[in-house]
Amino acid sequence: MQGEFSLGELAVRFGLTLRGEPNLTVRSVATLSHANAGTLSFLANSRYRRQLESTRATAVLLSAEDASHCPVAALIDPNPYLAYARIAALLHPPVSEAPGIHPSAVVANGARIAASASIGPLAVIEEGVQIAERVRIGPGCIVQRGASVGADSALVSRVNLYPGVTVGQRCILHAGAVVGADGFGFAPNSGTWVKVPQVGSVRIGDDVEIGANTSIDRGSIDDTVVENGVKLDNQIQVGHNVTIGAHTAIAACTGISGSTVIGRRCMVGGMVGFAGHLTIADDVVITGCSLVSASIKNAGSYSSGMPAVETRLWRRMVAHLRRLDTRRDNVGVR
C-alpha cells in the first residue's frame, strides 16, 4: 500500500539537507526506539537526544544541532517535527474510498452529492443536503436536512450533523462528533423550565478537525462559529453562540459555555472550563484544568489548575486555606 522513497528524493521534495547515502530508502515512520531498517524517525526535542545512539532507523529527521549526534543518515531541517508531519503523510496516505453511494446508505432524493464523493454503508443523508467533491462520509454518519459538507472533507464514521449545519473544506470529523444539537436554553417559569427554541445553526470553517465524541451546539438565534484551521480534540463541549477564532487548538474534555468568544491562535489545554459570555483575546494560552471565569484582554498564559500532592498534605493545605478566612482578614495587613 505504502510507497518507498529514497532519502535523496525526500531531501529534494521537502527542501531538507541530507547527510548520508541518497539511495537509501524508507517505507514507513517509526519512533527512535522501535525503528527498524526501512523506517524514518525524527528527533524534535534535544532532550531525547540520547535515544539517537541506539536507533536502528535508516534515517532520522532532526535539527542541525542534533545532527552531529546521529549515527545513521540524517535529514536536517530547522523544524524537524513539521517536516516529519509532511513526510509521514506521504509515507502513510489515507486509504482512499471508491466514489459512490453504498447500497445500504439511505439518501434522500433531494440531496445533492458530488460524483467523486463516497457515502459509506448505513449512512443517512436527508433532504436538501449538499456533499461536495471528494468528500468521504463514513459508515453510520447522519447528515440531516439542509446540512452541507465542503470539498475534500471527511466524516470518518458515525458523525452526526444536525439540520442546516455547514462544514467547510478539508475538514476531518471523528466518530461520535455531534454538530448542531440544541443549545442549553430554558426560560424559568415559577420553578419549572420552558424550552427556548434553538433556531441558529453551526458554521464550521475550512481545515477544521473535530475529535471523537465532541459536541458543538447550534446557536440559539445566530450561529455558533468555528473558524478556519481550528483543531478540536475529543470530548470537547462547545455551547451555543460560541465563536472559536481561526487556528485555535483546544485539547480534550474542555467545555466552553454559551456566547463566549475565543480569539485566534489560542492554545487551550485539556479539561479547561470557560464561563459564558466571555471574550478571550488572540494568542492566549490556557493551561490544563483551568477555569476561565472572566474575559481575557491580553495575550499570555493563564492558569488555575491545582497540581496534585499527597492526599494528607492536600487536606492540610485545604484546611490552611479555609483558616485564612477565620483570621479576621489579618493576612497581608501587618
Q: Looking at this protein, which amino acid is placed at residue 239?
A: G
225 membership: H or E segment, kind and range: strand 224-226
In sequence order, what are the beta bridge partners of 268? 250, 286
CA 258 to chain centre: 20
Cβ proximity to a second copy: between 21 and 318 the closer is: 318
Residues 301-330 that bind a second copy (CB under 8 A): 301-318, 320-327, 330
Instruction: Tell me if 334 contacts a second copy by CB under 8 A.
Output: yes
Structure-block grid coordinates of residue 278 = 466571555
Instruction: Tell me if 275 contacts a second copy by CB under 8 A.
Output: yes
Cβ proximity to a second copy: between 22 and 49 the closer is: 49
Instruction: Tell me if 186 contacts a second copy by CB under 8 A.
Output: yes
Cβ at position 245, least distance to a second copy in Å:
12
Q: Catalogue the long-range contacts made by 118-125 (C-beta closer than 8 Å, 24 or more residues apart).
A: 120/157
18 membership: H or E segment, kind and range: strand 17-19
Instruction: Tell me if 235 contacts a second copy by CB under 8 A.
Output: yes
What mask of x and - would describe binding to a second copy in positions 126 to 165, judged by CB under 8 A? x------------xx-x-xx----------xxx-x-xx--
Cβ at position 128, least distance to a second copy in Å:
11
Residues 35-74 that bind a second copy (CB under 8 A): none
36 and 56 Cβ atoms separated by less than 8 Å = yes
| Residue 136 burial by Cβ neighbours in a 10 Å radius (0-12, 13-18, 19+) | buried
Cβ at position 40, least distance to a second copy in Å:
10
Which of 114, 151, 261, 291 is the binder for a second copy (CB under 8 A)? 291
What mask of x and - would describe binding to a second copy in positions 76 to 115, judged by CB under 8 A? ---x-xx-xxx-xx--x--x------x-x-x---------
What mask of x and - would describe binding to a second copy in positions 2 to 31, judged by CB under 8 A? --------------------------xxxx
Of the residues 34, 92, 240, 320, which is catalytic? 240
Separation between Cα atoms, residue 30 and residue 27, nearest integer Å? 10
Of the candidates 250, 251, 249, 257, the residue with the CA atom closest to the CA atom of residue 274? 257
CA distances from 223 to 171, 215, 322, 333 (A): 19, 15, 43, 50
Cβ at position 91, least distance to a second copy in Å:
8
Determine phi and psi for 183, rounding to 5 degrees.
-65, 170
240 among known catalytic residues: yes
Query: Known catalytic residues?
Result: 240
